[in-house]
Structure 1
């Protein structure tokens, strides 16, 4: 790996989230029914045949996780095992060969080791993007899984996804779903593509940052994050089902909330309940990139509903700070999440 000066690594975090990359990545190929050896290669264009399965039939999934620099300089990865397990579940849903957990963990750790000098100080982090694609050269395989595949791990030094700490503007979409029923739990590009037109329209027409999908009034998730309602004593979120992504950050926030004395309620709830809750409570989005971001207002049927004073609420800040402190090693890792 080429040497990167510390000041250069810090400067990378000024770039928009996910647009700066470290110089090396790990890569492995699947063929003849088995995974081949892991390679350490420069980050650059991938050799793909134009008939590759992924380009025609969407055979791809990915993960997003972070490595953090601890106060003593050590680098640790947050909830690596959970992200690898979800990656394997996504691969199974896409009918792609599942990379073994030990191979994926080793590939991710190698990228982190190679990028050690590029990792910014907290609150920055090294964002990690394992990606699996079908590479069989066969445009006649619309009804068959790809017999060949490639997995690789990219690394990107990042700062905050939603910069500035302001309350987000969220458009409520109460007719259409984010993804195909039963497929929302897969972390695959197709789910983000299906939500994108709604997000683009919401941004253009309403100045919204994201869209909260609530088909027939049933609150699910935004185009890229899980969703919470919070007050001084409670945290409310939808129970896990196949319609939406089973977020690792979601699980972390729930665990921390219980530890801090909040009553955690996992049940279905409606758009009308959101409007009632935010008269006195808060709303927030969670995800690896966003961590926990407060909602400042909702837009529904042309009406704007402000949440509190329009900023990030105190309970959202409390939970976000508790999670960030644990991730960055400023508080003890009492759940064994850093490795």
Structure 2
């Protein structure tokens, strides 16, 4: 792509102190249009600003939109790096297929991410646990109130210097296993990265927060007995020495950190299983002292140890509420590869320039 770059004439002051997550935005953004019959066109990087859309834009009425999430890091050598951006590009197209959004070549996705990060790379924070969060997204923009596939779309990438997703960093979180609402079913959009999945999770999330829990762990939408995923993460269990995670079945997001953790565990010779896991199996494993660790994986949090699981009237305390040895090792390894302090034998780290 031939990307036109227009730089801001009024750069913003860089943030100081605690960053939080997803509330601060850089000076520039990437924008590209799609028109049926013309394809993707006019790729550009422009100053970060509000956008103007018709009130009839189809994204507002029928939810035809998708998004991705990845990060840029300042390496130990001072250069900017991404982590497996091609996987985000491939997942973008899997989501696009489900939502009737036009395909976006993976190489164009990666080029766009690299280009906007390069322009704003001086926004990449360097404090421990910080990174530049990257949010690519596509929205339907055709002004039409009929239920149909939009003929026009907008692909954008915005950037946000951020700290840890959870305020307490690697301190184990409490997870509420939801036994009333469901998030997704096979044949639906559970595997896609789209806002509707997250909107469906909000009511349960509020309920969990009101009871002192950080996140919701969803059960399957049919039998309501098999573990699926957490609202913002995939979930892993270390049960009697084995690393177990729910298999991808069409209602679970195929997480890139999930995939990385599985590859790491296998490279270390740890037995791993991708299969159905019932909540009853978890309760039994806890009673028998075999539930050794629980942790979530995701771009935002990387590794999030779980210290407490609630299901109805049962509250399971995991590892005395402390981070487990494997959780810590995985966090140190993934972030070490991302930052360049550990050797990247997998080829996951991609330079921006």
Answer whether TM exceeds 0.5 for this pair. Answer: yes
Query: Displacement of 1:194 after TM fit?
Result: 0.3
**Number of the residue aligned with 1:64:** 69
**Is 1:27 paired with 2:35?**
no
**Number of the residue aligned with 2:225:** 217
Kindly tell me: are residues 3 and 264 of structure 1, through their superposed partners in 2, closer, same or farther at Cα, counting changes over 3 Å? farther
Kindly tell me: are residues 3 and 52 of structure 1, through their superposed partners in 2, closer, same or farther at Cα, counting changes over 3 Å? closer
**Aligned mate of 1:328, from 339, 348, 353:** 339
**Number of the residue aligned with 2:195:** 189
**Is 1:295 paired with 2:306?**
yes
Aligned equivalents of 1:4 and 1:219: distance in 2? Answer: 49
Aligned equivalents of 1:241 and 1:257: distance in 2? Answer: 21
**Unaligned residue ranges in structure 1 (runs of 5+):** none
Tell me the alpha carbon deviations over residues 119-169 of structure 1, each in whole angstroms, 9 at most, x when there is no partner: 0114311111100000011012x1x11111000001111111123221111
Secondary structure of the corresponding residue to residue 244 of structure 2: strand
**Aligned mate of 1:249, from 257, 273, 276:** 257
How do residues 200-279 of structure 1 correspond to structure 2 at under 5 angstroms? Answer: 200-204=206-210, 206-215=211-220, 216-230=224-238, 233-278=241-286, 279=289
**Number of the residue aligned with 2:205:** 199
**Number of the residue aligned with 2:21:** 17
Aligned equivalents of 1:263 and 1:9: distance in 2? Answer: 45
**Is 1:150 paired with 2:154?**
yes
- Once superposed, what is the RMSD of the aligned Cα atoms? 1.9
Query: Displacement of 1:261 after TM fit?
Result: 2.2
Secondary structure of the corresponding residue to residue 221 of structure 1: strand
Tell me the alpha carbon deviations over residues 298-338 of structure 1, each in whole angstroms, 9 at most, x when there is no partner: 11113322111112112111111111111111111100001
**Aligned mate of 1:131, from 116, 134, 137:** 137
- Whether the 8 Å CA contact 2:181–2:204 is kept in 1: the answer is no
**Number of the residue aligned with 2:4:** none
Aligned equivalents of 1:136 and 1:180: distance in 2? Answer: 29
Aligned equivalents of 1:225 and 1:44: distance in 2? Answer: 30
Secondary structure of the corresponding residue to residue 197 of structure 2: helix
Aligned equivalents of 1:5 and 1:46: distance in 2? Answer: 18
How do residues 19-58 of structure 1 correspond to structure 2 at under 5 angstroms? Answer: 19-33=23-37, 34-58=39-63
**Is 1:308 paired with 2:295?**
no
- Whether the 8 Å CA contact 1:249–1:286 is kept in 2: the answer is yes
Tell me the alpha carbon deviations over residues 230-281 of structure 1, each in whole angstroms, 9 at most, x when there is no partner: 2583210111111110000100011111112211111111112222334340
Secondary structure of the corresponding residue to residue 208 of structure 1: coil
Tell me the alpha carbon deviations over residues 270-298 of structure 1, each in whole angstroms, 9 at most, x when there is no partner: 11222233434010111000111110101
- Whether the 8 Å CA contact 1:179–1:195 is kept in 2: the answer is no
Aligned equivalents of 2:307 and 2:208: distance in 1? Answer: 15
**Is 1:163 paired with 2:167?**
yes
Q: TM (normalized to structure 2)?
A: 0.90
Q: TM (normalized to structure 1)?
A: 0.94
Query: Displacement of 1:44 after TM fit?
Result: 1.7
Aligned equivalents of 1:4 and 1:72: distance in 2? Answer: 29
The number of residues matched between the two structures is 334
**Aligned mate of 2:107, from 102, 110, 113:** 102
**Number of the residue aligned with 2:96:** 91
- Whether the 8 Å CA contact 2:131–2:163 is kept in 1: the answer is yes
Query: Displacement of 1:4 after TM fit?
Result: 10
